[in-house]
Amino acid sequence: MPETLPFTPNPFFRCAGPNCGVLKGVSDRWWVMWTSFDERKIPVVHLAPWDEELAVREGALHVCGEGCAQKLQSQFMGNVLENRGRRSGG
């Protein structure tokens, strides 16, 4: 069932980085990351400069900087390898 709540922009974004969780300020240069599957079901990680529209999308991760982006990318890569190993491993 889709959410039918009225659109309420949330001014508070928190960094999704492991052990980070800082709050975004107005002037901070942040990034948005999200993952998806392409048409061949291959997991893809996306990274884009901060954009309010991207930031409020479902599944969007808010990232305070390069360090946290790298940690999240590393987490993503670990998950992919883990899933792959599970799938092909007997």
Who contacts 61 (Cβ-Cβ below 8 Å, separation ≥6)?
16, 32, 33, 34, 72
What minimum distance in Å lies between the beta carbon of 40 and Zn ion? Answer: 32
Site for Zn ion in 7-26 (CB under 5 A): 15, 17, 20
Q: Rule CB under 5 A: is residue 72 a binding residue for Zn ion? A: no
Residue (20 or 56) nearer to Zn ion, CB:
20
Find the shortest distance in angstroms from Cβ 32 to Zn ion. Answer: 13
CA distance 58 to 61: 9
> Which residues make beta-bridge pairs with 31?
49, 63
33 touches Zn ion (CB under 5 A): no
